[in-house]
Amino acid sequence: MTPFVPRELHVPAKLETAEFRLRMLTIHDVVKDFDAVVTSVNHLKTLRPGGKWPEGLTLEQNLIDLGWHQKEFQIRRSFAYTVVSLSEQTVKGCVYIEPTRKRGYDAEVYLWARQSELANGLEERLYETVQRWLTNEWPFEKAAFPGRSIPWDSWSKIPDETQ
């Protein structure tokens, strides 16, 4: 199995702008992350076709999810970053960098901003920032942002590498 990122890659610990910070999502973020998720349910359900997450999410289930994301990051299998205010008081969203099987791509990237931040354009600024970050700091030749840089219907038609 090919590793998702080269062993010698120094995985970025954080990305900081004048507005927000990205850093590894951990179990210690559970309460603030849960608040961001449950106050953004309507927005989050629109991010994937037929999406129902996070309907029914409990604090305990969120803790399990965060533990999974944290472990995946530690073993370099995927990378989940929380998007926090510079004061660390508020979770503003999340960024997920994952391997893909889609032919012609070497990563899938998903992101979201807290529903209350949409009107001020945070999600679009986050998207632009993450695109630049991937180009400058990560080894990916072609990362996909399904639902953003490529429409969902087009993404679903791309064959897997094994096909």
- Asked whether residue 1 is domain-assigned, the answer is no
- Asked whether residue 100 is domain-assigned, the answer is yes
What pTM, to 2 d.p., does this model score?
0.95
Q: What is the pLDDT of residue 66?
A: 98
Mean per-residue pLDDT, 134-160: 95
Q: What is the pLDDT of residue 2?
A: 64
pLDDT at 163 exceeding the cut of 90: no
The domain of 42 spans: 15-157
CATH code where residue 48 lies: 3.40.630.30
CB-based contact 32:59 (threshold 8 Å)? no
Mean pLDDT of the chain: 95
Mean per-residue pLDDT, 63-67: 97
Q: What is the pLDDT of residue 105?
A: 95
| Torsional sign, CA 35, 37, 38, 43 | positive
- Asked whether residue 24 is domain-assigned, the answer is yes
Instruction: Report the distance separating Cα 33 and Cα 27, nearest Å.
Output: 9
Which of 92, 93, 89, 37 lies closest to 63, judged by CA? 37
Q: How confident is the model at residue 161 (pLDDT cuts 50, 70, 90)?
A: confident
Q: What is the pLDDT of residue 49?
A: 87
Q: What is the pLDDT of residue 13?
A: 94
Q: Over the stretch 75-129, which tens digit does the pLDDT of each residue have? A: 999 999 999 999 999 999 999 999 999 999 999 999 999 999 999 999 999 999 9
Q: What is the pLDDT of residue 52?
A: 86
- Asked whether residue 143 is domain-assigned, the answer is yes
Instruction: Report the distance separating Cα 116 and Cα 132, nearest Å.
Output: 24
Number of domains in the chain: 1
